Chain A
C-alpha cells in the first residue's frame, strides 16, 4: 500500500517552504541555538579554570552541552508550536477555505490532525538544521548516538503535544491572539496543575504519597526531566539504583512504574494519548454539525 499524504500537510509544507517566513524562522531558531552554544562553552570553560580539577579533560564537559541545547530546543518547540497551530484554523476560517475543506471528504479530525502534523514537520525542519550543533556533543563529548535518536523521538512526541494544545485553543477561540494565550493557559494547567495532587498529599502526610504522583505522567516537564536523568546519569527520578520508593510509600501502580525507564515510556504514552484527546476535542469543536460547535461567526469581507 502506498502511503498517502494528508492533503493539508502537503499543501501547508509547500506553502511554507515557499514563503520567507520559514527562512526567517530558521534563522531565528539557529541564532538562539548558536548563542546558547557559545554561552554554554563560555561557562564550561570558565568553570573549568575555577572549580574543576586541572587534570580533568575540558572536552569531557562538552557532554553537558547536549542537554543544554536540547532543553533550549524543547523550550523553543513548546513556545513555537502553539503559535503556528493556534493561527492555523483561524487562518483558514478567515479565507473561508475552511468551509471548502469541510465540504470535501476530509473529516474534521483529519483536518485538525493534518494541521498539527504540518506544524510538526515544519519544526522538524528546524530541528534537522540544528543537528550539526547538537552533533558536537556527540563527536567531542562522547555521548552515544542512540541518545540523539531517542531525543528526536521525544522531541517529536512533545511537538505533537504542543501542537495539539495549540489546535485545541485555535478551535476554541476565534482570534489567533486569544488562541495563543489560551494555549499557554493550558500549558500552565498541565505543567503546574499535575503537581497539585502530590503537593496536597505531602501537606497531609509527607510519608505516604499514595498514587498522587500519577497525574505527573501527563506532565511533559517531568517526562523530559526523567529522559535527561536517564540519559545523562542512568537514573530515574522515581527510583535510583540506590533507592526506590517502597510500595508502602507510593501505592502499587507508582511503585511498578518507578522501575527502570518504565515511567518514561508510560508517560510518553500518556502524553500522546492526551494529545489525541485534545485533537479529538478540537475536531468536535470545528465540526459545524455538532451541537456544541461554535457559531461560524460574522463573516468578513462580504460585499453586497
Chain B
C-alpha cells in the first residue's frame, strides 16, 4: 500500500536517509525502529509531505500523485513526535477545526468526533480545554484528530515518547485496536520492545539506512539462518539425529539427553512434514517448540550496539 523507493535525503551534505526502499502492505502495523538520529523522523516527514526528498519517491497504491499532493494528504493521518496544543480551545472545537481543514461539514465532524473520542477513550472530555489534558490524553486526542478524515494510512512518530507506563499501555491497546479494524499503521520508536509486542512487521534503521525489514519471524529466521526448533525426544534419539542429518534444510545444533535442537530453514509445512517423518520412524517425542528468537540481540547487532 505504501511504496517508498530509493528515498534519499541530504541535510546539506549530511545524508539523513540513504536509498531507502520499503513496501508496507495494506492492513499492516509496521514499526520503524532505530536509535536516535537513524532517520526515522526524516523518512516520516517526507512520507507526510513535510519535507522534500533529495531523491526517490513515495507513493500510495491507487494514487498517481506523490508525497505532498492533496490527494495523498487525504490518505494519510499524521501524529508528530512532538506537538503542542492551543490554549483556550476545547476538545470538540479542536476536532472541529481540523475537520474543517479537510473540508468536512460541521454535522459530519460532530458525529465522527463523538465516535472517535469514544475510540480513544476521551468521550467524557469533549468540553474540556485541550491544554488541561494530560500528555497521554493529548496524544490520544491527536490520534483521534489524525483519524478524522478516515485516512488509509496512519503515521505516528514516536507516539510513546514522554508518556508514563500506563499511558503507553493505553496507546498500545489503541493501536492494536486500530490495527484489528484494518487500518494500515506506520509507527516509529527507538525502543524495540515497544514495537515487537504489537507490530506485525518492522524495519530496522541505522545511520540513515534501512538495515532490514519484514515480518518479525522472517527477520529473525533470516538473521539466524533458520528457526531454532527444540524437540523433546523420549527414545530413538540416534534415529532422530540420523534422520535430521539427511535433511538439507536442517542443521543439527545440539543433542542432549532428551532434547534435540535443530535449525530449520524452510516453510512451516516442511517443518510439519519433518516432525511427521520422525514419528513415522519410531522416534517417540513428548513435544517440540519453536524457540522465540532474541530480537533485542539482533537489533543491537544490526545497529552496532548503539543505544
Contact = CB atoms under 8 A, between A and B. Distances in A.
A102 B76 CA distance: 12
Interface string B83-110: 1111111000100011011110000000
Interface string B143-165: 00100010000000000011000
Given A104-B73, A104-B101, A15 B78 contact: no
Interface in A239-292: 288-291
Nearest to B103: A105
Nearest to A6: B100
A57 interface: no
A303 B83 contact: no
Given A102-B49, A296-B51, A14 B93 contact: yes
The CB with the most chain B CB atoms within 10 A, among A5, A18, A105, A303, is that of A105
A103 B36 CA distance: 24
Interface of A: 4-5, 7-8, 10-11, 14-15, 18-19, 94-97, 99-107, 288-291, 293, 295-296, 299, 301-304
16 contacts: A7-B97, A14-B89, A94-B84, A95-B85, A99-B48, A99-B78, A99-B80, A99-B83, A102-B49, A105-B103, A288-B51, A288-B52, A289-B52, A290-B52, A296-B51, A304-B190
Contact of B88 (A19, A97, A103): A19
Nearest to A95: B84
A71 B84 CA distance: 39
Interface string B49-70: 1111000000000000001101
A304 to B, nearest CB: 6
B74 A103 contact: no
Contact of A303 (B45, B68, B78, B162): B162
B14 interface: no
Contacts of A303: 82, 161-162
Interface residues of B, number: 37
A99 B67 CA distance: 14
Contacts of B50: 99, 102-103, 288, 296
Given A95-B86, A288-B68, A296-B51, 18 more contacts: A7-B101, A8-B97, A11-B86, A11-B93, A11-B97, A14-B88, A15-B86, A15-B88, A97-B84, A100-B145, A103-B76, A104-B73, A288-B49, A288-B52, A291-B52, A296-B45, A303-B82, A303-B161
Nearest to A11: B97
Interface string B25-58: 0000000000010000000010011111000000
B48 A103 contact: yes
Contacts of B97: 7-8, 10-11
Contacts of A106: 101
Interface centre among B70, B97, B101, B190 (most CB of A within 10 A): B101
Contacts of A15: 86-89
